Structure 1
Amino acid sequence: MDNLSRNVIAEAFGAFLLIALTVVVVTIGPGLIPAALTYGFATAALVAALGHVSGGHFNPAITLAYLLSKQIDFLAAVAYWIAQFLGAAAGALTVRLITDSEVVTAGTPVIADDVSVGGAILAEAVATMILVLVIFGTVVDRRAAPSVYPMAIGITVTAGFFAIAPLTGGALNPARGFGPAVISGEWGGAAAWLAGPILGAVLAWALYRFAISGGDENPVRGRGTDAHALPPPPGSSLLP
């Protein structure tokens, strides 16, 4: 099996587990805290388990950020996106087969009644921007310590969910909205969970590329004179 096939399977499987777990806990769990902790810890665990295979994206917005920063080529990014969306839909379908349609519907991110569509998009964009900045700072940048990234990413997902879940459902990930929406038919929050994370990923890439990285053309782990001292980045088989 070639590298891309392994990576795509890992992305689909990771998205499947992430969406299945979060949909169930968001619906059945007693309040915001269990849902936030499940989302964050599940993300951290899956990144730790599969990050060395595919990079552990499980999120089309993160894949977009990797594409913009030239760490993954376009065809591989498209394959990742397909795998992530299909895995997410399969995760939601599994929940539907185990429980009932009401669980999946309740687990689909929606915009709160007192929040405008623009406000919801902005909230998702800011939360996702912070998430992608953390990923760039802990996974991508060759100057970062490589061991901290799973927990850093998980904590950021937890914090982001806490912050915006009452407003938008707290997707931070187009696949998190798409999976249950396909099964439940609840598309009311699509503008937020689709446009917001995409916008956030683009903003994070621009901020890191032109400001935080200090103008370094390729602040990518494994490139540069100190490359021998650091392990390759997750998903490095896709680096050009």
Structure 2
Amino acid sequence: MVKIAFGSIGDSLSVGSLKAYLAEFIATLLFVFAGVGSAIAYNKLTSDAALDPAGLVAIAVAHAFALFVGVSMAANISGGHLNPAVTLGLAVGGNITILTGLFYWVAQLLGSTVACLLLKYVTNGLAVPTHGVAAGMNGAEGVVMEIVITFALVYTVYATAADPKKGSLGTIAPMAIGFIVGANILAAGPFSGGSMNPARSFGPAVVAGDFSQNWIYWVGPLIGGGLAGFIYGDVFIGSHTPLPTSEDYA
């Protein structure tokens, strides 16, 4: 049974919660700075050439490393979500309230936007690449691709970090989360861009002023994250008591 809880404003504005929002802001900022920065660096080094296999691998590795570090640095404070789809998936499984999750979203979106503004400044105005589907694909196909890869991400988060039966996994959880993101970028990058993260797509869209396909990277990841939260959090974990707190995510 779905364990979604709305929560209270008092809990969502507690000192601990405020620290969690700050941790999400900082970790998301650093993750997006490295991830989007790797794409900008690739474009600069190749004179804006089309993405080739070497560039795809480099960008996937940069995102995997940056997410591994970002999740690790925020895990003990906020749970290390860095992604509205992860937050939604964990809310569906009862690991975070809807109200607190909305504040997480704000922190994550702000972190991504600030990261892209900083990149625009420090690169002397170089273009910030936005996510979009490949030529020959339509929006629906992009949404399905993002559903599948985001499902894989949030399912991995549950299996390695949020499952109360996981035992002590140490650094394996953030490492596995980084690996699945890198692998998914390798698989989906040439097609949908391999976002899996509305915040990761939102910041570049704001700075570039291009929201033409941004909806794909909200609809797909949120559906995928919600499905993973329901299947793992509500079917596999079920009625386990007590529910894990944010400190138990990693």
- Number of matched pairs: 224
SS of the aligned residue for 2:206 comes to helix
TM-score, structure 2 as length reference: 0.84
Query: 2 CA distance for matches of 1:64 and 1:39?
Result: 21
Deviations 1:99-145 (A, max 9, x none): 144431xx211111111100000001100000000000111111114
* Structure 1: tracts of 5 or more residues without a match: 224-230, 236-240
Alignment-derived partner of residue 231 in structure 2 = 207
Q: What is the RMSD of the two structures over their aligned residues, measured on CA atoms?
A: 2.0
After TM superposition, the structure 1 stretch with the greater mean CA deviation from structure 2, 115-124 or 184-193, is 184-193
SS of the aligned residue for 2:76 comes to helix
Conserved 8 A contact 1:132-1:204 = yes
Judged with a 3 Å threshold, the aligned counterparts in structure 2 of structure 1 residues 55 and 8 are, in CA distance, closer, same or farther, namely: same
Alignment-derived partner of residue 167 in structure 1 = 191
Judged with a 3 Å threshold, the aligned counterparts in structure 2 of structure 1 residues 153 and 202 are, in CA distance, closer, same or farther, namely: same
Alignment-derived partner of residue 21 in structure 1 = 34
More helix as a share of residues: 1
Alignment-derived partner of residue 136 in structure 2 = 114
Query: 1 CA distance for matches of 2:57 and 2:243?
Result: 34
The residue correspondences of 1:58-73 to structure 2 (distance < 5 A) are: 58-73=82-97
Judged with a 3 Å threshold, the aligned counterparts in structure 2 of structure 1 residues 204 and 234 are, in CA distance, closer, same or farther, namely: closer
Query: 1 CA distance for matches of 2:241 and 2:198?
Result: 26
* Structure 2: tracts of 5 or more residues without a match: 1-13, 43-53
SS of the aligned residue for 1:91 comes to helix
TM-score, structure 1 as length reference: 0.87
Task: Provide the identity percentage.
Answer: 29
Alignment-derived partner of residue 34 in structure 1 = 58
Shift of 1:218: 3.1
Judged with a 3 Å threshold, the aligned counterparts in structure 2 of structure 1 residues 221 and 151 are, in CA distance, closer, same or farther, namely: farther
Shift of 1:98: 1.0
Asked if residue 183 in structure 1 is aligned to residue 198 in structure 2, the reply is no
Query: 2 CA distance for matches of 1:15 and 1:217?
Result: 31
